[in-house]
Structure 1
């Protein structure tokens, strides 16, 4: 391991362990490191889906202020009986990007029909670009964050109406 020293790898392992990530992969100067947490991938997916379901059942109000215009919008999370709407949440803390570059179209916007596994956005964390994929087949009914906005672990990113 010429390009990465042991302390840097150990620090990376500790950082990933403290985060909500269940899968992480990095390649640097020919050295590739892959980390997975949990017994198996299906178990991790089931836990993430339960987390999404729990969060979609919470009723909250969030006030968003747009700096260019002095407008406030009130966004309500889905009601308990709205089982057809699912929320895709951020698995990490980082910066939300709606597209792969400044001149590129958004991966997903309101009205976009998406399939399970389709890329919805990118979240940059520790100089790594993490593609966030849809966990469901459906249609985007709301984008809950703005491009280049900081997001927290578990924060809602998209509302999807299931097919």
Structure 2
């Protein structure tokens, strides 16, 4: 079952895109969204049918009606706040992954993390390791500054160009 935050992110992405209709089905959950006209978001959980048991009763779909004018105003204010947050991070340097691989905060599970939020780094400081094809690649900070935020979790798969850290340059 999808989490509320994941559903919100999907709604946001669909809203910002040029697509008019979106359907998503995963592990028994189904989401269908339509833009333009009468906007409704339907989320329903579908139980997989098992041949040996009677079908389970289905919960009623959750339907969100199109937002009212006051809800639109509130959403616009929230969007404005989010844009301000984005602008606040525009002066921060992003350390990005130079390759697809697995992110590690330390050289071994027993070792301390290379950096934590608030750590001071220099251009040649090692901040993490990205493992790709059994090769462990040390990633350097690229700037002098302070780690403001770690954007990925230890052991998480990362993509080429994906931001890993936000650094406040000195």
With normalisation by structure 1, the TM-score equals 0.51
Shift of 1:117: 1.0
- Superposed CA RMSD: 2.2
Gaps of at least 5 residues in structure 2 are 1-11, 14-81
The Cα shift of 1:141 comes to: 0.5
Q: Which has the higher strand share?
A: 1
How many residues were matched structurally? 90
Cα distance in structure 2, aligned partners of 1:121 and 1:82: 21
2:158 maps to 151
Report the alpha carbon displacement of residue 81 of structure 1 after superposing the two structures with TM: 6.1
SS across alignment from 1:79:
helix
The reply on whether 1:135 has 2:135 as its aligned counterpart is no
Aligned equivalent of 1:106: 113
Describe the superposition over 1:37-96 as per-residue Cα deviations: whole angstroms up to 9, x where unpaired: xxxxxxxxxxxxxxxxxxxxxxx99xxxxxxxxxxxxxx796346453111000000000
Higher relative CO (CA 8 A, sep ≥ 6), structure 1 or 2? 1
Q: TM-score, normalised by structure 2?
A: 0.49
CA drift of 1:136 comes to 0.5
Structure 1: tracts of 5 or more residues without a match: 1-59, 62-75
The partner residue of 1:85 within 88, 92, 96 is 92
Distance in 2 between the 1:82 and 1:152 partners?
21
**How far is 1:106 from its partner?**
0.3
Please name the residue that 1:96 is paired with: 103
Where does 1:7-156 land on structure 2 (aligned, <5 Å)?
79-80=86-87, 82-156=89-163
